[in-house]
Amino acid sequence: MAREKYRRPVSSTTRPEAVTLALDGIGGAEAAQDTEDVALRVSELFPGMFAWRKYREHIDIELVRVALNDATKKKGWVVGSHRQGGWLLTPAGVLQAQRLRAQLPDAPATHQRGKDEQLRERERGRLLATSAFARVSAGDAASVTADEADSFFRMNVYVEGSARERRIARLQNLFGSDPELGPVVAALAARARQRS
């Protein structure tokens, strides 16, 4: 019996797009997700795109990891890594996932928050009570110290690199479209990134 020749499934969706959509579908806008969870979801959405060459029923985790790295380094849609706590969508990644859902007829809806909604509201209350929020809302963003901006994102000077970017992106994803918090989060994100 001749072995079936490997062919990538016909799809106009690229691998970085596929993992971005999968990450969004499992809650990657709110919390970092493990590579294996992304792999399972992307194999449901795009069967065969990340399969082994010879044994098509298996997911090639390395292809998923490479696609996540491409979505991180080449596209800017994802932050994180396989070794450092997982993958999180950036605000640009959330927008890209929305565009992909609109283009693909069978694309799933975004992750349902459910029980996490109470935690989100608690976090929103914490942010509204910060001195950094009060100053930026009053039009005095220049007086916010670097430590206050870091505190707003629940980090300190020792949080650097991708860990810093993940914390900033998480709040941007959660509250970027909030009419009250969105502009403050954007202003303080710029301030917190200066410390990187």
At 41-99, the pLDDT tens digits run 999 989 999 999 888 889 999 999 999 999 999 999 999 888 888 999 999 999 999 99
Q: Which of 103, 136, 169 is the last residue of a domain?
A: 103
- Quick check: helix, strand or coil at residue 143? helix
Specify burial of residue 96 (Cβ count, 10 A radius: 0-12, 13-18, 19+): buried
Pick from 182, 173, 190: which is nearest to 91 by CA?
173
Residue pLDDT, tens place only, 119-153: 788 888 999 999 999 999 999 989 999 999 999 99
Contact status, residue 172 vs residue 92, Cβ threshold 8 Å: no
Q: Is residue 111 part of a domain?
A: no
Q: Which domain holds residue 85?
A: 15-103
Q: Is residue 97 part of a domain?
A: yes
Contact status, residue 15 vs residue 50, Cβ threshold 8 Å: yes
**Structure tokens of 18?**
């596929």
Kindly report the pTM of this predicted structure. Answer: 0.71
Q: Which helix (H) or strand (E) holds 196?
A: none
Q: Which helix (H) or strand (E) holds 79?
A: strand 78-81
- Based on the fold, state whether residues 89 and 125 are members of the same structural domain: no
- Based on the fold, state whether residues 49 and 125 are members of the same structural domain: no
Supply the mean pLDDT for the chain.
86
Determine the Cα–Cα distance for residues 140 and 131; give it in Å rounded to an integer.
11
| CA contacts within 13 A on the Cβ side of 159 | 19
Assign 20 a pLDDT band (cuts: 50, 70, 90): very high
Q: How many domains does the chain have?
A: 2
The type of residue at 26 is I
- Based on the fold, state whether residues 92 and 155 are members of the same structural domain: no
Determine the Cα–Cα distance for residues 79 and 124; give it in Å rounded to an integer.
22
**pLDDT top residue among 136 and 116:** 136
